[in-house]
Amino acid sequence: MPRYVLPGLAAVALFTFSITASGQDLKEVARLQKVAAQKITDQVGDAIDFSRKQDPAVAKFALQEMLRKVRDSQDLLESQRTPLVQKLQARIRTVEDAARAKNISQDQRPPYRDPDRPKYSKQASDPPGGVGSVAKDWTDQAKGAQKTQAELIREREKNRTRIDQGIEKSAVLTTADPIEFPPYWKELTERRKKTVEQQLTKKEVALLKTLNSTMSVDYENEKFKAVINHLQDKTGLTIIVDEASLNDVGTDYDALVTFKIQKVTVRTVLKKILGDKGLTYIIKEGAIQVMTPKKAAEHTVVRAYQIDDLVAPSPQMQMMFGPFIAQAKMLQNAQQLINLIQATVEPNYWQPNGPGTIAFFAPTRSLLIRASAEMHYQLGSPGLFGGR
């Protein structure tokens, strides 16, 4: 073996050993960091429990020391540090509110009075409007103003305490926390149901229910016209075929149909049979009208769906991050809702594949949807916008 090969092999072996050793060191460092982070998290919980049992001044000092420790810690990731800081800050505000309420209560206590000192009694010689009467009137007015101010301060501090407790409760969400809806949620839901109820005639509603019913078919080289007649007899639907559309797609009433299936919706049967011929249908004037997809795209309507309670950010978020961040969050929620609808409700119906469009109109917090009457009926059904 040449001499120059041995130093090279030694270098490779040394490099391999260093990589292995460093990998083991990194795993150990990561483990120690995780243990340290869990220790700080436990200490935060202990500090908050401690603050609930102590005088507000002592509790505030302990919480501030814990907050400084969390901010200075090198063992916490930012994703771990942020919720701990928020939780401590919320608890500190609650303690400060308790301290202010305590001070107000102490200020309203009557001053100490020596029991041996005789009570002041208005002398008979004090005329109305004299020095004693004027002093008493000024004192009564000052006491009344002080009482009103104290009541306003108490009410303000009570409201701030409710907000801080809500923030503290929502800072770290656990699976054990119940989901609480605001008291006005039911009213918003009822209001939205009124705005999205299907604006259809009774005949059209009955037609849509028939489309949702199930049936079984067995067509073996049956003529297209015979199939349409059989479907009308079987379901009671009125099916009108546009003969110009038959010419546009290069078919006619004598075209053969082969389709066999068990217990599917009438809608599925129609879409399959018509789709194989390059046709589709719309619901108009209480009947099924068969035509080309291009013509069907011209028979769409625009409706607005109120979704403010689905996309609006929470009051806590608006208070903590301001109106601009809250507005951006609302737009993000609306886009996620649009993506969900287009992915789950007839995905091929929406542009660029089909005629349907959805846009969010921020000033009214509503979705503007251009679609067929049948699609609007599906969107207005329970589980989408029709209620929960």
Domains identified in the chain, total number: 3
**Pairing verdict, β 301-306 and 366-371:** antiparallel
Same domain, 74 and 147: yes
Tell me if 182 is assigned to some domain. no
289: domain range? 202-296
Same domain, 13 and 67: yes
Residue 324 has what pLDDT? 79
Tell me if 197 is assigned to some domain. no
Tell me if 284 is assigned to some domain. yes
Tell me if 90 is assigned to some domain. yes
Residue 21 has what pLDDT? 46
Same domain, 57 and 157: yes
Same domain, 329 and 363: yes
The pTM score is: 0.41
Residue 311 has what pLDDT? 82
In the numeric block, the tokens 């006005």 are attached to 184
Tell me if 75 is assigned to some domain. yes
Phi and psi for 369 in degrees, rounded to 5? -120, 125
Tell me if 93 is assigned to some domain. yes
Among the candidates 269, 296, 323, a domain finishes at 296
Mean pLDDT by 10-residue block, N- to C-terminus, for the chain (388 residues)?
Answer: 48 48 63 82 87 83 87 82 88 84 64 55 52 65 73 74 62 52 66 56 79 89 90 89 89 90 89 89 84 83 82 74 81 89 84 85 87 75 48
Number of alpha helices (DSSP H) and beta strands (DSSP E) in the chain: 13, 8
Same domain, 235 and 101: no
For the chain, the maximum distance between any two Cα atoms, rounded to a whole number of angstroms, is: 129
H or E segment and range at residue 261: strand 256-265
Kindly give, in sequence order, each residue whose CB lies less than 8 Å from that of residue 198, ignoring residues fewer than 6 positions away: 205, 376, 377, 380
Residue 4 has what pLDDT? 46
Tell me if 386 is assigned to some domain. no
Residue 314 has what pLDDT? 74
Same domain, 32 and 156: yes
Tell me if 183 is assigned to some domain. no
Same domain, 277 and 304: no
